[in-house]
Structure 1
Amino acid sequence: MTTEEPIESEDPMTAPMRRQAMVTAVLTIAPLTLLGVALTTQSWWEGLVVGVSFVLVLGVLREWNLDGYPPRSVLAVVGTTMGWIAGALLMTNPLGFFPLALVGALMLARVRRRFLWIVVFALAVTSIGAVAFLFHPLTGERAAIYLLLPFLGVLFVAAVILVSERAWLIGRRFERLKEIETQLVVARERARFVNDLHDIQGQSLHVIKLKSAVAYRMVRDDPERAESELLEIRRLARETISETRAMTFDRYELNLAVEIENAQRLCESAGISVHADVDLSGDAPAPPILAHVLREATTNLLRHARPTVVSIAATATSVEIGNDGVAETDGDPERGLARLRERVGAAGGVMTVMRGPNRFVVRADLAPEQLGEVTS
């Protein structure tokens, strides 16, 4: 009997799914079990045995995950088995099998050929119930209580656990797909940057290479032509450097309205809900520096945070983007904003970064008189 390979390691984002699966299982099984135990328990020590068994069950529930259980979980199996054996031998509480059924179902839910093993487990629990007839005569009523009820009870508990885990697993896979989609969005942006860099440098470098060869051949035969070619090479190199610097530091002009649409599209494709409050009315267009702030903030939240909701507020003189994600510890989401803060300040504006327990906000404000003056 081998455990299924884990789909992926547990993720903090799936913790609510784990809680939901646990609550579903407990609310489905616990009320009937506790009510039955309360109605059938005839002495304090019977209740004590069943209570200890349920404490062991709670220990396994705390370890409930989709990737297996620690070795100490075997103690819960042994303890609940002994409790059911004692209950069957003394023919006291007929529901003493429930703790064992729950522990067994939890541990068998992730093994290969789980349905076969669950049936085998149900038969094993039923066979333990049969020890009641070693010291008591067999009757139809007792057979139903100590044979049929344990068998059906184990199948019921296992069905609840399997359904809960299946919903949990589907949710975890869905979260993983959203994470992959977010990574693809970032990868597309990187590919776009590489393509832009190739477009800027590729042709220029090729022309520089050709003109360098021409200048080399003309150095002795036609010095004036060689000088002309070298001047052209210098001009091309200067333009290429300027264009590369402009792209690297986002100095090419952007349109705020277009960037808002792009940010919404990128976030929604990553499964993130977006709320936008935009008012760009007015004669003068919003300065491109605000679009740069929005683009950098969007890239940061996709790379460094795991938000579920993003809010965008924009006017002709300000832009604000907030999210409820928590930045990961292996990256600094503010590092890419440092240069933008300097540029916003140089343009006569202020850029602020506000970080809270469940909120990360980037905001840039420009003075109204800066409209039409700030171009990068």
Structure 2
Amino acid sequence: MNAGPARRVPGRLPAAPWTTRAGRMSRRRFRTLNLSTALPLFVAVGAILVARQAQSWQDVVVLGLGLAAVVVAFERWTVGEIARVAVPCLAVAAVVWPYGAFLIDGDAQSAYYSLAVVGGLTVPQLPRRRVAAAIALTAYVGAIGALSLVTGGEVDATGVILDVILPTGITAVVIGVMFPNKGFYDVVAELEESREREAELAVMRERMRFAGDLHDIQGHTLHVVKLKIALAQKLLHSDTERVERELREVYALVSDTITQTKELAYGQRKLNLTAELENARNLLEAAGARVRVERRAEIDSPPIDLLAQVLRETTTNILRHSRATLVRIELAARSITVSNDGVAADDAPPELRGLATLGRRVADAGGELTTRRADGRFLTRATFPATHDGGHRTPIGEERP
């Protein structure tokens, strides 16, 4: 079975499923898979058992209630909300079993079927004493079966097998199978959350780098301005010409700093493509993705700044909007292509404002920025009119394990 169980909350059944973006994506995929494969199987088996063993319309109604409890419990389990229906579903299933055991002639698999399935879905999700609950539920099934056998008259080997051993064994097996199932999806949830935390840390590192660039621009300027103003105060009454010159330099310095700050804020500051490639690799690998970089030719100088900005913005988008495991970066003489996997086909395309802004700037420079999503991959390509483009292919980065 493929549903992701909820995160554990002390003292009660977990009511919240995976809450990170990656966890929600995985939960939706698991839910769709379960509802299309496992749920029809549960319903078919239950319906067959009811049809075979019900001897009156009353039996159909009671056994049907047990099957309904199975459907409700399983549907809620697929979204990690079994806690909301655990008590009523268990109560219904616990009543259906003695009804079938005492009032339906012959073996009544459909009667304990609902209790075995609902118990298997519920017991492993308990925050504590799960083993004790599993033993108690299995013992209840066995006790009802044994009591129905004793009160029914003759006790023989066939009756023991059909009324006691078989119901108890099936219930124990179903519950036992669900324990490792829960453990597996707990690990999946932890991996998903860990992956998203790594991506968040990578974005935080990028923000820290931005803060460092801002400090580099403004920190030195403010320090110099402070010194020049202090000097101007000392010379105010003795060398007014020097004071005027110092103030003009302060004005020019502040104006230049304002310009650089605007360029940094709007992504217009000149960037080093080699440094951006290394930064992109470090950020993506920190988020768990493999990175392959290939250079087909030397980059011409006119578009290199815009190409570096496209790479930076695309890297940020990959970290925020995908669960990429492999990112390919290809550089030609006047173009860059970045493709990544980890894009869910059923999700709405993210709104990429940064790339939209860059697209206008690339167009103003005579180039073209395109994005495309297909087959679970997202591709971003920025190209400029080719003046020359050699066919030499020089790897500057190899895929890392």
TM normalised by structure 1 equals 0.81
Give the Cα–Cα distance (whole angstroms) in 2 for the partners of residues 359 and 238 of structure 1. Answer: 44
* Partner residue of 1:340 out of 350, 358, 381: 358
- Map residues 130-279 of structure 1 onto 2, 5 A cutoff: 130-132=146-148, 133-256=150-273, 258-274=275-291, 278-279=294-295
AA aligned to 2:12 is T
AA aligned to 2:288 is G
Instruction: Compute the RMSD of aligned alpha carbons.
Output: 3.9
CA contact (8 A) 2:299 2:331 kept: no
What secondary structure is seen at the aligned counterpart in 2 of 1:319? strand
Deviation at residue 97 of structure 1 after TM alignment: 1.4
Aligned to 1:114: 130
Give the 3 Å change call, closer, same or farther, for CA 302–157 of structure 1 in structure 2: same
The question of 1:53 aligning with 2:70 is answered: no
Give the Cα–Cα distance (whole angstroms) in 2 for the partners of residues 125 and 163 of structure 1. Answer: 22
AA aligned to 2:222 is L
User: Which deviates more, 138-147 or 230-239?
Assistant: 138-147
* Partner residue of 2:120 out of 91, 100, 105: 105
1:116-155 deviations in Å (ceiling 9; x for gaps): 1111111122222133122323344433432333333222
Deviation at residue 8 of structure 1 after TM alignment: 4.2
Give the Cα–Cα distance (whole angstroms) in 1 for the partners of residues 151 and 30 of structure 2. Answer: 45
- Map residues 56-67 of structure 1 onto 2, 5 A cutoff: 56-65=69-78, 67=80
Give the Cα–Cα distance (whole angstroms) in 2 for the partners of residues 15 and 21 of structure 1. Answer: 10
Give the 3 Å change call, closer, same or farther, for CA 232–259 of structure 1 in structure 2: closer
Deviation at residue 348 of structure 1 after TM alignment: 1.8
Aligned to 1:83: 96
Where structure 2 has 5 or more consecutive residues not aligned to the other structure, the ranges are 1-10, 390-401
* Partner residue of 2:304 out of 287, 301, 310: 287
Taking every aligned residue pair, what percent have the same amino acid on both sides? 30
Give the Cα–Cα distance (whole angstroms) in 1 for the partners of residues 96 and 194 of structure 2. Answer: 44
Give the 3 Å change call, closer, same or farther, for CA 67–214 of structure 1 in structure 2: same
AA aligned to 2:76 is E
AA aligned to 1:93 is D
Give the 3 Å change call, closer, same or farther, for CA 274–55 of structure 1 in structure 2: farther
Give the Cα–Cα distance (whole angstroms) in 1 for the partners of residues 162 and 325 of structure 2. Answer: 50
Give the Cα–Cα distance (whole angstroms) in 1 for the partners of residues 317 and 305 of structure 2. Answer: 19
CA contact (8 A) 1:275 1:311 kept: yes
Deviation at residue 175 of structure 1 after TM alignment: 0.6
The question of 1:125 aligning with 2:137 is answered: no
1:155-193 deviations in Å (ceiling 9; x for gaps): 211111121121112111111110110000000000011
* Partner residue of 2:380 out of 347, 362, 368: 362
Deviation at residue 208 of structure 1 after TM alignment: 0.6
1:215-257 deviations in Å (ceiling 9; x for gaps): 1332223212211221221232233234323433444444445
Give the 3 Å change call, closer, same or farther, for CA 338–23 of structure 1 in structure 2: closer
CA contact (8 A) 2:31 2:78 kept: yes
AA aligned to 2:28 is A
AA aligned to 2:379 is V
Where structure 1 has 5 or more consecutive residues not aligned to the other structure, the ranges are 372-376
What secondary structure is seen at the aligned counterpart in 2 of 1:321? strand
TM normalised by structure 2 equals 0.76
What secondary structure is seen at the aligned counterpart in 1 of 2:285? helix
CA contact (8 A) 1:88 1:94 kept: yes
Aligned to 1:93: 107
Give the Cα–Cα distance (whole angstroms) in 1 for the partners of residues 86 and 300 of structure 2. Answer: 69
Give the Cα–Cα distance (whole angstroms) in 1 for the partners of residues 264 and 85 of structure 2. Answer: 58
1:8-53 deviations in Å (ceiling 9; x for gaps): 43612333445678899889x979x78x969x95676599565663
- Say how many residue pairs are matched: 366
AA aligned to 2:182 is E
The question of 1:3 aligning with 2:13 is answered: yes
